[in-house]
Amino acid sequence: MKRLKFKTTRYPLFAIVLSLFIIVFGMIMAKDDYLCWYLIGLCVWLCLFGCIKSVLKMIPVFLIFGGLFAIIAYYSGNGDLLSAIAMLNRFGALFLGVALSMSVSSVQMTRCLSQIRTPRAITLGMLISMSFVPMLKGESNRVREAMKTRGAGRIFNPKILYRAFLIPFVMRIVTISDTLALSVETRGFRLDGSPYSIYKKEYPTIWDGVFLIGIIAGAIGVIFL
C-alpha cells in the first residue's frame, strides 16, 4: 500500500536519468515538428508529478535565454523560422531536464546512492556539490540584506561591490567550507569502507513507474509520428 501512495517527490535515480534523457533527446530531435508539443506536454506532466516549483523557476530563464538565442538563430538563418523553433526546442529540453533534476534533494540522492553501495567518495561529493549552490545563494542574500541594513549603497557601484559585498561573501564561502568539513566529520562519513546504516531508505513506487512510462511513451510518439 505504501508504494501505491502518490508522492510529490520522484525516485532520485529515475529523476536524474530521465533529466539526462530529456536533454539528450531534445538536442537530437530539436528539428522535429512534434517535439514542441512533446515539451509542452512534458511541462504539464512534470507539474502533475510535483515539479511545479522548479518548472516555474525555469520558465523565466527559458523565456530570456531561449528567446534571445531563437532570435539570433532566426536572423542568422536569413529569416528561417524552423531554425528559431529548433533553438527554442533545445533550450526547452535543457531547462525541463534541469527542472526535473532540481526536484531531487541532496539528502534523497545520498540515501539512494548509499543503498546501491556507491563508493563513499562519490556519495560524499554528490552531497556536497548539491548542497553547496543553495548555501551560496542563501549567503548571497544574507550579505545583500546586511548591505541594506548598513546603508552601504547600490551593489552596482564597483567600490561598494568589492568592499561591502565581495569581501564578506568570500569570507562566508571560507566559513561554509569549514562548516561542511566539520559536518562531514561529526556525522561519521568515512572513506575507508567502514560499514554504515541508512536512515529512511528510498524505493521506487508505482507512480515513479507511471512517470517514467509517460515520458518514454511521449518520446516514442515523437519518433514514430
pLDDT in tens, 82-132: 888 999 999 999 999 999 988 887 777 877 777 777 776 777 777 777 666
pLDDT of 158-202, one tens digit each? 666 666 677 777 777 777 767 766 666 666 666 666 666 666 777
pTM of the model: 0.72
pLDDT bucket at 212, cuts 50 / 70 / 90: very high
Looking at the fold, whether 26 and 88 belong to one and the same domain comes out as: yes
Per the CB < 8 A criterion, the answer to whether 115 and 198 are in contact is yes
119 in a structural domain: no
Q: Which grid coordinates belong to 192?
A: 575507508
Closest Cα partner for 111 from 189, 19, 199?
Answer: 199
Question: In which band, very low, low, confident or very high, does the pLDDT at 4 lie, cut at 50, 70 and 90?
Answer: very low
Cα dihedral 33/34/40/41 (nearest 10): 180
Same domain as 82, residue 27: yes
In a domain, 3, yes or no: no
Inform me whether the pLDDT recorded for 39 exceeds 70. Answer: yes
Which residue range forms the structural domain that includes residue 72? 10-104+203-224
**Same structural domain, 31 and 69:** yes
Q: Produce one character per residue of 155-172: b if its CB has 16 or more CB atoms within 10 Å, e if not.
A: eeeeeebeebbeebbeeb
Looking at the chain, the whole-number percentage of residues with pLDDT higher than 90 is 26
* 150, 211: one domain: no
Res 140: pLDDT = 75
Q: How far is CA 65 from CA 60, 70, 95, 101, 126, in A?
A: 9, 8, 10, 19, 28
Does the pLDDT of residue 26 top 80, yes or no? yes
Residue 2 within any structural domain of the chain: no
- Answer whether 9's CB lies under 8 Å from 204's CB: no
pLDDT band at 44 (very low <50, low <70, confident <90, very high): very high
Same-domain check for residues 100 and 159: no
Residue 196 domain flag: no
24 phi and psi angles, rounded to 5 deg: -65, -45
Q: What's residue 5's pLDDT? A: 46
Residue 74 pLDDT > 70: yes
Based on the fold, state whether residues 24 and 93 are members of the same structural domain.
Answer: yes
Residues 71 and 22 in one domain: yes
Residue 215 lies in a domain: yes
Neighbours of 115 (CB within 10 A): 14
Residue 220: predicted pLDDT: 93
Both 209 and 180 in one domain: the answer is no
pLDDT tens digit sequence for 140-152: 777 777 777 766 6
Same domain, 74 and 154: no
Per-residue model confidence (pLDDT) at position 186: 64
Cα-Cα-Cα-Cα dihedral sign, residues 92, 30, 41, 98 = negative
- What confidence score (pLDDT) does residue 205 get? 84
Q: Quick one: 17 exposed, middle or buried, by C-beta within 10 A (0-12, 13-18, 19+)?
A: middle
Nearest of 74, 82, 18 to residue 46 by alpha carbon:
18
For the chain, what is the domain count? 2
**Is residue 155 domain-resident?**
yes
In a domain, 88, yes or no: yes
Mean pLDDT (the chain, rounded): 80
Same domain, 173 and 220: no
